[in-house]
Amino acid sequence: MKSSSGIAGRIRVRPLCGILVVSSLIALWPLQRALDRARGPAAEISEVLYMPSGSLVRRFCLGYEGLVADIYWTRVVQYFGRRRMAQSTRFELLGPLLRITTDLDPQLLVAYRYGSIFLAEKPPGGAGQPREALQLLRRGIVANPGYWRLWEDVGFIYYWDLKDYDNAAKVFLVGSERPGALAWMKVLAASVAAKGGGYQTSRILWLDIYRQADTDSVRRSALEHLAALDAQNELASLNELLARYKVGTGQPVHAFSELVTLGYLKAVPRDPSGAPYVIDSGGRASLSPASRVDLRLLQ
Amino acid sequence: MPQRRKQSLSPHERVNEMTRIGSIAFHTFKESVRERVLYNLIVFALLMIGAAILFASISVGVDQIILVNLGLTSISVFGLLMAIFIGIGLVSKEIERKTVYVILSKPVARAEFIVGKYVGLLFTLLVNTSIMTAGFYLALLYQKRGLEWHDLTALAAIYFILLELALVVGLALLFSCLSTPILSAVYTFCLFVIGNLLSDVRWFGEESASAVLRKATALVYYLLPNFGNFNVITQVAHGEAVPGYLLVANSCYALLYITVLVSGAILIFEEREFR
Amino acid sequence: MMLAIETIDLTKDYRFGFWRKHSKRALDSLNLQIEAGQVFGLLGPNGAGKTTTLTLLLRLIFPTRGTARILGTSFEDRAVRARLGYLPENPYLYDHLTPEELLNYVGELFGLPAALRRSRVGELIEQLGLAESRKVPLRKFSKGMVQRTAIAQALMNDPEVIFLDEPMSGLDPLGRREVRDLILGLKARGKTVFFSTHILSDAETLCDQVAILSRGRLQGCGDLHKILRLEVSSTEVLLEDPAPAAMAELQPHAASVVRTGDWVRLEIPEEHEVPKILEIALRHGVRVVSLSPVKMSLEDFFLAKVSASRDATKEEAVPLPS
């Protein structure tokens, strides 16, 4: 029923509005995507709630420091995750953010533990700032003297990132004397002092981290390290085998399949990621290009 | 932009329609002006901006950052309170108080009513925000003992705040057509909070292992109003200029989303019965 | 003569309940024809469907079934509302506005030019007795004054058809008299007035035609006077000091016997019994003072129809007297 006096009312306005709603919602989708893309770097600054110091932030918390600390921690994880995904090598805000987080909530243990890992790891896995990580952990120990695992984390940084085995052993020993510390800490202290960085010790440490981890990113990191350790160990044994074969027969081997045919090996050896080991042009065992194991983690 | 109104009206009818919408808008504005609560809110906002000067003088080295931060945040927060408050009065109050009978029994289209109300309230927000902006610049002037061209970047942040408020009022309008005044205020506020945390919601979905959750959070991210787009207060406080593309993109976003909200409100209101 | 208002099978169901499964029929198949220039009364007890009818006609609610025509055009045409006036039941007006501002606003919505608005506002304020409070915000008004302002806004566009929902509610006797005069004045100017009320005396004095609604159904409709004449209920016989013997004979034929002093008033329900009564009286030598048909009052008619509808779920509407 259309008339020139605008009877439209219920008849034409409704489909028009319906079309507007649907088409506008659809149009919003690419617009939002474009906005996200363009704001990428800029978005980070505002999202990260950057403020010059923790005490300033504290004044604005109005009693909700714990909550704000949690929000900051979430931001730390996001910041770190995004940077890692972008394969960035610079994590400038990581230290300051962690400092603000732990200023707001000195008992937020997770910030010390994982924050120190993010800080200590070499880029692109982390910020490559082991000294800052140690500072963070020391502040954590002061605020939480009863929590012995922070000592473990300190020891780990000395052991892994600074390759300072003497200090690592000392720290593990101090930590093992904290109340509640597990027995293996003493064993660790001893073996670190004795072996100064062997495969077994490293493996124990990474396995412990894997078991205690409660986020996927840390678990993944531990598995990658374990795989690299195992691969390195296996490569060493394989190289030994190849050397013995060369000494024995004087012939170079070009592929492991030959050793299988000759009966030295039961099957073509595979690395922890499932890819077969290959022999490079220099006659040494190495990872295949298809392998997902990353030996650079061990440096 | 597609026209919101019907196409085949005579010019005379068009004029009448615009006059009616304008009349409703003007009276909505007039009603807001006579609403005493709004005056209180503006006074509080101006007080906050004044207090910002005090805060700023305490923190050495970052005084301008604090002043701009706090000043713009006050405008945003009080603007939000105002938007929600007058948003309630939009349709909910009219339905509850039955004053809507008088209007709708006249040759006024329901769509005209909704659009007129929205325009009137937008105008109210504009006036209130202008007052607060004047207060802000006065405070800045007092503290810096002089303004420079660069200080005008704050206007971009205020423009974005206005866009946010326009969205909030649109949300309030939509809920107003469905629900009682109190509930629609609550829903509007909740959507505002969620809208600010949308990037967290999406990140949460991306981090999760479940593909269903990932798609669900992506859907939520694109469907709900993303207030995070408009937050440039921190940047402006650090003296950065707001890029031109962002001004355009955000304006388009706001326009599209407002279209969604107002059209949705019209659809609902057309069906509404008044007993 | 043109029909001002016509409803065809107008029906309204309300759905309620959690899943909106239950429905209640507030108006059932209403068929009315109201000629222009009349005063039409829609009567009924509370909850009968009177307000439902009015709000349906003004498109504040939408019918489940059926349609209506006002002034020859479909009620769905928004433009026809420019020629209507509406007074809601218990009207709520913007209480931050003064009567002047409210009437001006309403005039703007009708698209009246400024000069016309000004003169109308002035006229209506005078006519409705609001002159002293023209610049006082409505929130300070008494109920009666709000009602008068509401009536004024209903007349702002000089409408051809005026809908009034309980126009007398909340008014003191003086106010009611004024509204009655107003309605008669509107009729004199050729307007059609459609009002709903549950006050029967108002309807009796004002209406040309009435319709009676009960429980959403039309119980009776038509010319008021014809209805009342049609329903001659009984005959009243007034006797002077009848002897007990006469009374004994007369009593069984009477529906009621009332003795007031020397006089006895008998109500004889059946018309054909009247000659017999007269015969008995004459035989006993009783003087018959008067004999007159008792016209049913609107109240009686109303109550009869309403209670009948309560007893039976289905009631045929009284056919229109021709």
A255 touches chain C (CB under 8 A): no
C119 touches chain A (CB under 8 A): no
> Is residue C310 over pLDDT 60?
yes
Q: How many helices (H) and strands (E) does chain A have?
A: 12, 2
pLDDT at residue A8, rounded to an integer: 43
List of chain A residues whose C-beta atoms are within 8 Å of the C-beta of residue C77: 1, 3, 5, 7
Contact A136/A115 with Cβ under 8 angstroms?
yes
All residues at 6 or more sequence positions from B191 whose CB lies less than 8 Å from its CB, including other chains: B171, B224, B225
Task: Please name the chains neighbouring A, where neighbouring means 3+ C-beta pairs under 8 angstroms.
Answer: B, C
**Of A138-142, A208-212, C15-19, which has the strongest mean pLDDT?**
A138-142
Global confidence as pTM: 0.71
CA distance linking residue C13 with residue A280, whole number of Å = 86
Banded pLDDT at C39 (limits 50, 70, 90): very high
C79 Cα to chain B: minimum distance (Å): 6
A248 touches chain C (CB under 8 A): no
Contact A298/A227 with Cβ under 8 angstroms?
no
Which residue from B101, B108, B275 is facing C109, i.e. has the nearest CB? B108
Banded pLDDT at A196 (limits 50, 70, 90): low
Residue A248: CB atoms within 10 Å:
9
List of chain B residues whose C-beta atoms are within 8 Å of the C-beta of residue C27: none
B107·C82 Cβ contact <8 A: yes
Smallest CA-to-CA distance from B225 within B265, B156, B165, B158 is with B165
All residues at 6 or more sequence positions from B273 whose CB lies less than 8 Å from its CB, including other chains: C60, C61, C62
> Is residue B4 over pLDDT 50?
no
For residue C23, the SS3 value is: strand
Overall average pLDDT of the C1-29 stretch? 85
List of chain B residues whose C-beta atoms are within 8 Å of the C-beta of residue C91: 98, 101-102
pLDDT at residue A1, rounded to an integer: 30
pLDDT at residue A299, rounded to an integer: 59
Q: Which carries the bigger pLDDT value, residue B262 or residue B67? A: B262
> Taking the C-alpha atoms of A19, A24, A30 and A34 in order, what is their torsion angle to the nearest 10 degrees?
160
> Is residue B127 over pLDDT 80?
yes
Banded pLDDT at A13 (limits 50, 70, 90): confident
Q: Which carries the bigger pLDDT value, residue A254 or residue C183? A: C183
| Least confident piece of the model among A157-166, A206-215, B121-130, C41-50 | A206-215
pLDDT at residue B5, rounded to an integer: 45
A5·C77 Cβ contact <8 A: yes
> Is residue A10 over pLDDT 50?
no
Which residue from B59, B111, B222 is facing A13, i.e. has the nearest CB? B111
Mean of pLDDT over chain B = 84
| B269 burial via Cβ count (<10 Å: 0-12, 13-18, 19+) | buried
pLDDT at residue C161, rounded to an integer: 94
> Is residue C157 over pLDDT 50?
yes
pLDDT at residue C286, rounded to an integer: 87
Chain C interface residues facing chain B, Cβ-Cβ under 8 Å?
A: 55, 58-62, 78-82, 84, 86, 88, 90-94, 96, 105-106, 108-111, 150, 153
pLDDT at residue C315, rounded to an integer: 46
For the stretch C49-104, pLDDT in tens is 899 999 999 999 999 999 999 998 898 888 899 999 999 988 888 888 999 999 99
Residue type, A84: R
A20 Cα to chain C: minimum distance (Å): 23
| Least confident piece of the model among A47-51, A71-75, B240-244, C138-142 | A47-51
> Is residue C160 over pLDDT 60?
yes
pLDDT at residue A6, rounded to an integer: 37
For residue A163, the SS3 value is: coil
B165 Cα to chain C: minimum distance (Å): 25
> Is residue B68 over pLDDT 60?
yes
Mean of pLDDT over chain C = 85
Which residue from C55, C106, C153 is facing B274, i.e. has the nearest CB? C55
All residues at 6 or more sequence positions from B180 whose CB lies less than 8 Å from its CB, including other chains: B92, B96
Overall average pLDDT of the C278-301 stretch? 80
Residue B153 structure tokens = 């970047």
Overall average pLDDT of the C143-150 stretch? 90
pLDDT at residue B12, rounded to an integer: 75
> Is residue C124 over pLDDT 50?
yes
Banded pLDDT at C219 (limits 50, 70, 90): confident
Banded pLDDT at C297 (limits 50, 70, 90): low
Classified by CATH at the fold level, domain C232-295 comes out as Alpha-Beta Plaits (3.30.70)
pLDDT at residue B60, rounded to an integer: 60
B97·C92 Cβ contact <8 A: yes
C76 touches chain A (CB under 8 A): yes
* ipTM of model over 0.85: no
What share of chain B has pLDDT > 70, as a percent? 92
> Is residue B198 over pLDDT 90?
no
CA distance linking residue A75 with residue A81, whole number of Å = 10
For the stretch A84-133, pLDDT in tens is 777 777 777 788 888 888 888 888 888 899 889 888 888 777 888 889 99
List of chain C residues whose C-beta atoms are within 8 Å of the C-beta of residue A7: 74, 76-79
pLDDT at residue B138, rounded to an integer: 86
Q: Which carries the bigger pLDDT value, residue C201 or residue A153? A: A153
Q: What is the total residue count of chain B?
A: 275
Overall average pLDDT of the C166-182 stretch? 87
Banded pLDDT at A262 (limits 50, 70, 90): confident
Q: How many CB pairs below 8 A link A and C?
A: 18
List of chain B residues whose C-beta atoms are within 8 Å of the C-beta of residue C111: 16, 19-20, 107
Banded pLDDT at B58 (limits 50, 70, 90): low
A18 Cα to chain C: minimum distance (Å): 20
A4 touches chain C (CB under 8 A): no
pLDDT at residue C312, rounded to an integer: 60
**Residue in the structure block whose two tokens are 């065992």:** A285
- DSSP per residue over A30-81, as a string? HHHHHHHHHHHHHHHHHHTT--S-HHHHHHHSTT-HHHHHHHHHHHHHHHHH
B182 Cα to chain C: minimum distance (Å): 20
List of chain A residues whose C-beta atoms are within 8 Å of the C-beta of residue B267: 14, 17-18, 21
Contact C221/C210 with Cβ under 8 angstroms?
yes
C214 Cα to chain A: minimum distance (Å): 31
> Is residue B149 over pLDDT 50?
yes
pLDDT at residue A195, rounded to an integer: 57
Task: Return the beta strands (E) in chain C as ranges.
Answer: 3-16, 22-35, 39-43, 65-70, 73-74, 84-87, 161-165, 192-197, 209-214, 217-223, 232-240, 256-260, 263-268, 287-295
pLDDT at residue C313, rounded to an integer: 52
The residue in chain C having the minimum alpha-carbon distance to the alpha carbon of residue B95 is C92
> Is residue B62 over pLDDT 70?
no
User: What sign does the CA torsion over A249, A251, A253, A257 have?
Assistant: negative
B10 touches chain A (CB under 8 A): yes
Element (H, E) at C225: helix C224-230
For the stretch A199-226, pLDDT in tens is 777 787 778 778 877 778 778 888 888 8
C108 touches chain A (CB under 8 A): no
For the stretch B10-43, pLDDT in tens is 677 777 888 899 999 999 888 888 777 778 788 8
C74 touches chain A (CB under 8 A): yes
A3 touches chain C (CB under 8 A): yes
> Is residue A249 over pLDDT 80?
no
pLDDT at residue C295, rounded to an integer: 66
The domain over range C3-228 is classified in CATH as 3.40.50.300: yes
Query: Which of C77, C80, C81, C83 to probe by mutation at the A interface, max A CB count within 10 Å?
Result: C77
C72 touches chain A (CB under 8 A): no
Q: How many CB pairs below 8 A link B and C?
A: 70
Overall average pLDDT of the B70-81 stretch? 88
| Least confident piece of the model among A22-31, B191-200, B202-211, C285-294 | B202-211
Q: Which letter does DSSP use for residue A270 in this model?
A: B
Domain ranges for chain C: 3-228, 232-295
C111 touches chain A (CB under 8 A): no
For residue A259, the SS3 value is: helix
